[in-house]
Structure 1
């Protein structure tokens, strides 16, 4: 009976006690670099980046007036680089500030070839609030599950302060589910010894799912005026629209 209850409870609750290996201060530098480099391939599959561009960014872009966007917790900065390439291809003007407080991630990202329209800064959202910055679009990808309750509250407050009138914030993250966990486990298994070897992507991806919210859980912790939207594949979006 004990085993049966344990199995039935697997992933039933968010496990915020487990930590991702790459977040450790003593994470292996070579494995970190490999993880950052491979993010662009994995995120292209699991992060719904193209849908984020089509739904939330492109309708706000203009061929004349630049739209200012902020990417919080950018990591390897693969998301803003893709968004800028798509906007350029569509003949639309976009400027993105991508921030991350992690010196290791920012060092890796700044060593890549520059992307027109991209500003990389080692900073937190609070730093930008203190500087009085405002943005038309505020984004993050796979950041929420890293945060405890106090940190999540601070991020949401900062986001509201950073939004320009008429702006929109979209914090995208994983939705915890047994199907999503099994899908990631099976989907990455063939690449564990090849493409993902020497990186933290597979173990940390599974840990991320365990740390993530369900739609109902995230809805309960969001302040008024925030809404949760389900997206594909196994994703959640915490959305806040600023008054014009």
Structure 2
């Protein structure tokens, strides 16, 4: 689905199915409970940046959970891919959620700051140089007292097998006419392990293993 000539119909269906798949594999609820909710307030509004938002399902989940807890949060979801932006902005509007076809570098250069800088399943799509640039941008974008959390797949034979078996019954129905299964298996093969990432991360970053077969690259900006 990264290809510029990806079938528009399959791509749209893939974005539409991301919310279902990510509900199982993204660990969004854990991200909210561990990193986001403890820093939110019912009085002042915190800002969240979702980098590489795709279909925009992650910020929608985080905003719903914050609202249900009576906490104030607004989100900017960005993606340089205009196809992703076209799908995300075609969905029902949500209070506190904005979308922009821009990059983390552009926002950092504009001196934007956010209490939360997050991404989901983006890192394995990046080259080594792009990976490092994203972490550097995140450091510039994270406000004092904030946190950057980039969640990704952890490569493993068990994770590959679990995804292959778990999605096989839905390949001909729920996931039909989408890139979900093929792209997911490719993504697992392209992803990293904790042992590979830990020694390569810049100072101030750490890698945390999470369920299911997930990694989190975390940096907390202390006040």
Which of the residues 118, 128, 134 maps onto 1:139? 118
Q: Deviations over 1:110-161 (max 9, x none)?
A: 0101011101010000010111100111000000000011101110100000
Number of residues paired by the alignment? 223
What is the root-mean-square deviation in Å for CA atoms of aligned residues? Answer: 0.6
In structure 2, how many angstroms separate the alpha carbons of the residues matched to 1:221 and 1:73? 22
The alignment's TM-score, normalised by the length of structure 1, stands at 0.91
In structure 2, how many angstroms separate the alpha carbons of the residues matched to 1:241 and 1:57? 12
Corresponding position of 2:218: 239
Q: How does 1:12-161 map to 2 (within 5 A)?
A: 22-161=1-140
CA drift at 1:219: 1.1
CA drift at 1:220: 2.3
Unpaired runs of at least 5, structure 1: 1-21
The alignment's TM-score, normalised by the length of structure 2, stands at 0.99
Structure number with greater CO (CA < 8 Å, separation at least 6) is 1
Q: Deviations over 1:45-103 (max 9, x none)?
A: 00011111111111011111001111000000000001101111111100111000000
Corresponding position of 2:205: 226
**Hey, which bits of structure 1, 4+ residues long, moved more than 2 A?**
none
In structure 1, how many angstroms separate the alpha carbons of the residues matched to 2:139 and 2:16? 31
CA drift at 1:166: 1.2
In structure 1, how many angstroms separate the alpha carbons of the residues matched to 2:105 and 2:184? 27
Unpaired runs of at least 5, structure 2: none
In structure 2, how many angstroms separate the alpha carbons of the residues matched to 1:171 and 1:122? 19
Which of the residues 151, 171, 178 maps onto 2:157? 178
In structure 1, how many angstroms separate the alpha carbons of the residues matched to 2:66 and 2:145? 20
Which of the residues 176, 189, 199 maps onto 2:178? 199
Larger radius of gyration: 1
Corresponding position of 2:169: 190
